[in-house]
Structure 1
Amino acid sequence: MTGGSSTWTRRGASFRDLLRTGALTPDVGEGREGLLAVRRGEVPWVRVEAWAARLFEECEEALRGTPLPEEPDTARVEDFLVRVRRTGVVPCPQAPDGPE
């Protein structure tokens, strides 16, 4: 087992929860110990595969009733990204004023 197995399993659980709730929560909560056991190589590959298959089925089920919109609001996302970028740009005192 590698860290990659725990990474894709964690991402699958996060995706399932996102589909169920509409909110992205990076905290794995109760699943943390199981993910760490996968990372340490303590879980047989057949169990990791079964867990991944179950997560896939749970994602398929969650997709049918997700509160997420069918299409993203690209204008809203673009507005958010532009505002974040503009507020995050801070002039550097050592930087030249621009091209000469």
Structure 2
Amino acid sequence: MKIQSSIVSSYHGTVVKIFHPFSLSFRKDQPLFLIRTKEGLLKEVVADSPGTIHSFEVSVGDEVVPGMILAYTEEDLSDYESGHDSKASETC
């Protein structure tokens, strides 16, 4: 079973780089976007869970604001059928 979620910007700035190609798998905490903030700082937007990019909603050079959707992702829940769910519930 697959679920869709979104990658959201926490920053106000410009997309400088998209690290991850469309439709390839990525890991949790892997950088997906690089944003140059209005203050000139470079900030990475990282994945909060493993998955694949389903669609990009921004391109390099686009201006983004906090809360703006950068991409939609898919996560395969069958990855968690091997006991990962029990570990997640132990940390709650």
Q: TM-score, normalised by structure 1?
A: 0.27
Which structure is higher in helix share? Answer: 1
Which structure is higher in strand share? Answer: 2
Structure ID, larger Rg = 1
